[in-house]
Structure 1
Amino acid sequence: MPELPEVTALAADLGGRLAGRTIDRLSIVAFSALKTFEPSPDALRGTTISGVSRHGKFLDIAADDLHIVIHLARAGWIRWREGAPPPPTGRPSKGPLAARLVLDDGSGLDITEAGTKKSLAISIVRDPAEVPGIARLGPDPLDPAFTREVFAGILAGQGRAQIKGVLRNQSLIAGIGNAYSDEILHVAKMSPFKPAAMTDDEIDRLYASLESTLRDALARADGLAASELKGEKKSGMRVHGRTGQPCPVCGDTIRQVIFHDSTLQYCPTCQTGGKPLADRVLSRLLK
């Protein structure tokens, strides 16, 4: 899933390509992806794109007084297309193409989603805050107002909740997902199951890890084209997606915990005092 660093870089890349361009049409191929009915996609015809921005993990393409808000979910992506789109073949609704933004010269964006679980969401609104997911976003960790004191208040309010879930909760902190929460906790040398209620020293360490991890990822993604961002994210991971590989810090084997719809990765030596975390799904399979 694209998270804060990738969506920030994607917005910058697309903003450079789209700003000042005129929309010919937005064609919705997978109708389940469109989450609004008014304004209709036809209202975008002839509008001029003023820029592309980010709200948490949401991408916002502003065109005159309208906004195309896209949440790429787990398997969505956007591809820039230089030329006119090819003619449709077969049954496009069965393929990965969810929508196509066509500019007045035929170039534009292909919005795609891999896999069978379709969660990509496109909304056409006059105000981004009309999108429920944006309206309930917590503070952005890249905002200067996101201070150590603000972060400490969020943690204190969550009490015994596991820190992994707190970092991923978009209503508490916007933009961090499964991958970067794993990375932040590895840098901080904390168990993903650690309670959110922490000592001052632990808060200091986790806040510094959050800031450095996200800003390092932003620096790596800065200036990259959309086509390069997925590969950069994967290559920059220390523990996430690296089950069975050696930890880059201590050399221990990276382990994972499997949930019903996701996994987390961690280093036992760095994060849990050498003890493997209980993996209930794996335990059931081994019975």
Structure 2
Amino acid sequence: MPELPEVQALAADLGARLVGRTVRRLDVLAFPALKTFEIPTSALAGRPVRGVGRHGKFLDLEIGDVHLVMHLARAGWIRWRDREPKSSARPGRSPKNPLAARLLLEPDGAGFDVTEAGSKKSLAIHLVHDSREVERVRTLGPEPLDDAFTLDVFAGILRRAGRAQIKGVLRDQAVIAGIGNAYSDEILHAAKMSPFKPAAMSDEEVARLYRALQETLRDAVARSEGLAASELKAEKHEGLRVHGRAGEACPVCGDTIRQVIYHDSSLQYCPTCQTGGKVLADRVLSRLLK
């Protein structure tokens, strides 16, 4: 799933390509992905792209007086095209046909495709006059890289979360915007904390976690800066130290990276760095071994 660093880089890349161009049309092929109906897709035709921004993990394209707001979910992505495709777009929601939407520009049909791989479809596309009309944008927590996101603000968030597991707190978009499964694993590894640690913690631990959050996200943003959309997935994977690397050696201590599997996701961690050598219970794996 693209998270804050990748979505920020996508917004910058698309902004450089789109701003000042005129939209020919938007074709939505995966109809369940379109979550709004008051503004028809035809309303974008002939309108200029005025800006491309980001809210948490949402992309926001300002086209005339309409905002095209997209959440790429777990398996969505943007593929840029320098020219109009030879074949017309066809509706599809299967893994064999991942095309969900296509935007074409004047005069040459350049633009981008929105794709979503896999069988579980969660991509969301909204056409609104104000991005805050999208409930999940309106209810986002603070942006963790904003100047206003201070150590004191972060400490207050953790105090209010109380006994909630810190992994879930970091991922909750209504609490902090933009951090998902991958970067929460990376932040907790850098902070040397268990993903199951309660959010209420000592002042020293709060400061350590805050530094890890800032450094991890800023490093990822710096690595992604200037990259085209086609390069971002590989760069993200290359930069991850523990997430998605179960069975590999921890780059810090050399211990084997372990994972806990849930019904629809998983987390990865280093026992030596994060849990005092303790291997966390993996209920899915335990059931398989019975």
- TM class, shorter-chain normalised? over 0.9
| Partner of residue 231, structure 2 | 228
| Partner of residue 251, structure 2 | 248
Task: Give 1:68-107 correspondences, 5 Å limit.
Answer: 68-88=68-88, 92-94=92-94, 95-104=97-106, 105-107=108-110
1:16-73 superposed Cα distances (whole Å, 9 cap, x missing partner) = 0000000000001000110000111011011100111000000000011110000000
| Partner of residue 275, structure 1 | 278
Q: How far is 1:223 from its partner?
A: 0.4
- The match for 1:186 among 164, 185, 189 is 189
Q: How far is 1:93 from its partner?
A: 4.6
Q: How far is 1:128 from its partner?
A: 0.2
Task: Give 1:74-153 correspondences, 5 Å limit.
Answer: 74-88=74-88, 92-94=92-94, 95-104=97-106, 105-153=108-156
- The match for 2:210 among 207, 210, 222 is 207
Q: Distance in 1 between matches of 2:170 and 2:86?
A: 42
2:264 match: secondary structure: coil
Q: Structure 1 91/201 Cα, relative in aligned 2: closer, same or farther at 3 Å? A: closer
| Partner of residue 289, structure 2 | 286
Task: Give 1:31-46 correspondences, 5 Å limit.
Answer: 31-46=31-46
Q: Distance in 1 between matches of 2:131 and 2:91?
A: 32
Q: Which amino acid aligns with 1:84?
A: E
Q: How far is 1:240 from its partner?
A: 0.2
Q: How far is 1:151 from its partner?
A: 0.3
| Partner of residue 51, structure 2 | 51
In the alignment, structure 1 residue 159 sits paired with structure 2 residue 123: no
**C-alpha contact 2:80 2:112 (8 A) present in aligned 1:** yes
| Partner of residue 20, structure 1 | 20
| Partner of residue 66, structure 2 | 66
Q: Which amino acid aligns with 1:17?
A: R
Q: Structure 1 91/214 Cα, relative in aligned 2: closer, same or farther at 3 Å? A: closer
**C-alpha contact 2:30 2:91 (8 A) present in aligned 1:** no
Q: Distance in 1 between matches of 2:272 and 2:30?
A: 46
Q: Distance in 2 between matches of 1:109 and 1:157?
A: 42
- Calculate percent identity across the aligned residue pairs: 70
Q: How far is 1:86 from its partner?
A: 2.6
1:109-142 superposed Cα distances (whole Å, 9 cap, x missing partner) = 1000001111000000000000011011000001
1:247 match: secondary structure: coil
Q: How far is 1:85 from its partner?
A: 2.0
Q: Distance in 1 between matches of 2:141 and 2:24?
A: 35
2:103 match: secondary structure: strand
Q: Distance in 1 between matches of 2:87 and 2:188?
A: 47
**C-alpha contact 2:23 2:45 (8 A) present in aligned 1:** yes
| Partner of residue 10, structure 2 | 10
Q: Distance in 2 between matches of 1:187 and 1:90?
A: 45
1:152-187 superposed Cα distances (whole Å, 9 cap, x missing partner) = 000000110000000000000000000000000000
Q: Distance in 1 between matches of 2:82 and 2:74?
A: 26
| Residues paired across the two proteins, number | 287
Q: Which amino acid aligns with 2:237?
A: K
Q: Distance in 2 between matches of 1:267 and 1:90?
A: 45
Q: Distance in 2 between matches of 1:207 and 1:34?
A: 37
TM-score, normalised on structure 1? 0.99
TM-score, normalised on structure 2? 0.97
* Structure 2 portions without partners, runs of 5+: none
| Partner of residue 261, structure 1 | 264
In the alignment, structure 1 residue 216 sits paired with structure 2 residue 219: yes
Q: Distance in 1 between matches of 2:11 and 2:71?
A: 12
1:211 match: secondary structure: helix
Q: Distance in 2 between matches of 1:135 and 1:166?
A: 18
**C-alpha contact 2:29 2:89 (8 A) present in aligned 1:** no
